[in-house]
Every structure is written in C-alpha cells, then in structure tokens.
Structure 1
Amino acid sequence: MGSILIHPTYFPSLSHFVAMVQAENVIFETDDNFQKQTNRNRMYIYSPNGIQLLNIPVKHNKGIHQKFKDTKIEDAFDWQKQHFKSLEAAYRSSPFFEYFEDDIRPIFEQKHVYMMDLNFKILDILTDCLGIDIPYNKTEEYFHDAPQGVTDYRYLANGKKDTNIFEPYTQVFEEKAGFINNLSILDLLFNEGRYAADYLKRQQL
C-alpha cells in the first residue's frame, strides 16, 4: 500500500491500524473541522456486557465550526477514571493487560488539553507497545479530496462507514457474545500482545 490520508483517532480501531501498518507513508489530516459522533474522541471495547462505547467529552463553540486541532477536552466530567475502570472490567483477565498496563495508565492520569494532541500521544504509546514504527506527516491545509496518488482513508473515523471485516482472534468474553469485529486496537493488544503486529499486517481492507 502506498501513501494514505487518515484521521488521528482515540485508541484507533483495527481498520485504522491495518491501514497505517500496511502503508508506505501515513499522512494525518490535521486541518479539518471537528465532527461529532466519530472516532476522533471515542473508541469501542468488549465489555462483560458486550460492545461498549467510551467517549471523551469535548468543548463546543456554539454556532461556530471549530477545527479538530483547536478542540479542547471538557474537564467537567471525570472521563479518565471512568474509561480506565471500564478497561479494567473488560480486560483485567486478558493475557496481556498487566503487561501493557503501565504504558497505558498515564493517559488516564495526566491532564490533557487538546483532543488531537492526546490522539497523537496515544499513537506514540501504541506503536511502542506493538513494537512497530509508523512514520507519518501532517497536513498543512485541508483537502476535500485526497491528493493524487494518496488513498483517502479519512472515512474510517466514522464507524458507520467502516464495514471492514477481520479474521477472528481470541477475546475475553467471546463465549458469551461471540467474536466482535473491529474494536479498538486495545482489544487486540490486550488479547494478542506483540502478536498483534503480525495480525495487522495480514489483514485486508
């Protein structure tokens, strides 16, 4: 796969990581407007009760389009404590949760101001956990259509438009609800550990 254009998202979905791992060059869209109900500030995990949405509240400027890079996290809600508790309930018994816990925990203990900055910090942590290198560039202006020779994967940030199906792997609660496809990369990481990188390389979009 050549160059791709993609959004920085919150603990990205498997499809996001499949695209990034298999690309020769990753370009992150950093000059677009913030859009609600996308993975820019949400992820999906496999909880004891099935699929669970974890959403970070952000501050909105009423009536004004705000760029994603200028979008601030709303501190009035204790989202960090809630999200980490949810991850513990979902993955404490998974094979690799304790192995990666110390890498992930600081995200839920440190103060973060901008949503996009948090997503890039998370990407650095995740690539280190996976043992992979994803060199990337950032856009300096907004393109309605991807430049020539660049595959546009920005739609992957909208879960409703992402219909990719991936091969099953072992999940903690699959005996209760079966395999759940295309969750956050954390689901794969906590269940497969460093084998996750090989899994991502052999999937197809």
Structure 2
Amino acid sequence: MTVLLHPAYFPNVAHFVAMLQADEILFEACDNYQKQTYRNRTTIFDANGSLDLNVPVVYSQKNRQQYKDVKIFNVEPWQQQHLKSLESAYRTSPFFEYYIDDLLPVFTEEFTNIMTLNMSCLELIFECLQLPFNYKLTNNFEIEPEHVMDARRLINCRKEIKQNFNAYAQVFDKNHNFLSNLSILDLLFNEGPATELYLKKQILQTK
C-alpha cells in the first residue's frame, strides 16, 4: 500500500501511523499552500494543556502559491521560541535529553521555505527512530488519486479527523486528561525506542 500525505512540521502521530504502516510513502509536492493547517504548525503538551507552535510564513491569500514555494518569515525568532517551549514542556520527560541534540538542526540552521524545513523534520525523526526514510514526491496534483491511500486530509487543523489512539504516559497527564494525536515529538520524548512499536499498533482514521 502507498500512502499519500502532505509533509508537515513535526507531524502528529496520525501521520507517522500512516507512514510506518505503509509499504511506500508518497508526499504531495504539487499542491497550493493553505493557511491554518499542520503545514506550518505542530501541537505539543505543556503545563497548560495543548500548545500550538507555528512557523511564520510569507503568504498572501490573494496570490496563490504552491506549498513548495512558500517562504519562512525568519525575521521572527521562531526557532528560539519553539526550542524554549519544547524544553519547558518536555525537559522532565524520560527521553528528552536522549533525542534533543539530534533535533537541534531544526532550531539552529536557517531554512528559507517551509517544505524544506518539514522534510528535514521528517528525516530527523526517522533517524531518531533508526528507520530508513524512503519516499517519493508527486509529479502533478490529483484531486482523487488512484491506487493510493489518500491521507492528505490529516493535514487539516480546523476539520481534524478524530483519532482514538492508545494512551501512553505524558508529562502532564496528572493535571490533564490524555491528549491524543499530538506532535510526534510528544510520543518520542515520552516513549523513546518504544515509539515505533506504538505506531505500528494503532488504528488510523482517514475519514
């Protein structure tokens, strides 16, 4: 089975369930950029509950741009802010110190466009999981592609598909209920090497 996905910024658990349970990963590279999606957003779990981390981009709704052409607004110190938020949320998690150095390039190197950043995030996560990152990119946009599992809807924030994933220990779960389908970083920092097995056991909803 081939799964078709949009590259996202430190994608949520659902994206990784889809990727690890597929035979082949196909990333959409020919779509128009849309605001308020996980293309430039990820959600983590801090002391107050869920927290969105947004990458600022240069984009105008009037002039449609392809996703791969959208630039990051690097005037804002978003990388420093995101790193501080992760440290605040996960420094007491079991595997934060184990993985954070491997992820630092996302927060120390300058990226010019959002798709390049997101592909780098994906590559680093696969390295942390010690898994090969093999994928293909689309050559054209198809509304209803054939012979693939179309999971592109997982990128939506406003109309997010509810996922009933198994609970795992989270840093602030004593103060809040379990929060499902957060950024892959939440699962990685809390479950470490058990992340791969967890992902392969989950049942994904795509509709």
Instruction: Please classify the TM superposition score into its range, dividing by the shorter chain length.
Output: over 0.9
Question: 1:10 aligns to what?
Answer: 9
> Could you say which residue in structure 2 is the equivalent of 1:85?
84
Distance 1:62 1:13 in 2: 25
Task: Give the residue type in structure 1 aligned to 2:190.
Answer: N
Relative to structure 1, is the Cα distance of residues 138 and 47 closer, same or farther in structure 2, using a 3 angstrom cutoff?
same
In structure 2, what is the equivalent of residue 107 of structure 1? 106
Deviates more, 1:153-162 or 1:37-46: 153-162
Gap runs ≥5 in structure 1: none
Cα pair 1:44 1:51 within 8 Å, conserved: yes
What displacement does 1:131 show?
Answer: 1.8
1:154 maps to what in 2?
A: 152
**For residues 29 and 55 of structure 2, what CA distance do their matches in structure 1 show?**
19
After superposition, give the CA deviation of every residue in 1:149-178 in whole Å (9 maximum; x if it has no partner).
111000000132321110000000000002
The letter for the 2-side match of 1:77 is E
Report deviation, 1:134: 3.8
Q: 1:12, 1:104 → 2: CA distance?
A: 14
| Structure-to-structure mapping, 1:127-142, within 5 angstroms | 127-142=126-141
Name the SS of the counterpart of 2:15 in structure 1: helix
RMSD of the alignment, in Å? 0.9
Shift of 1:132: 1.8
* Secondary structure, aligned partner of 2:75: coil
The alpha-carbon deviation at position 62 of structure 1 amounts to 5.4
Q: TM-score, normalised by structure 2?
A: 0.96
- Judge which range, 86-95 or 157-166, deviates more: 157-166
The equivalent residue for 1:27 is 26
Which runs of structure 1 show a deviation greater than 4 angstroms over 4 or more consecutive aligned residues?
none
Secondary structure class of the residue paired with 1:54: strand
Query: Identity of paired residues, percent?
Result: 46
Aligned in 2, Cα 1:7/1:62: closer, same or farther, shift over 3 Å? closer
- TM-score (structure 1 length as normaliser): 0.97
How much does 1:61 deviate? 3.7
CA drift at 1:40: 0.3
Paired residues of 1:170 and 1:191 also in contact (CA < 8 A): yes
Q: Does structure 1 residue 167 correspond to structure 2 residue 166?
A: yes
Question: 3-state SS of the aligned residue for 1:195?
Answer: helix
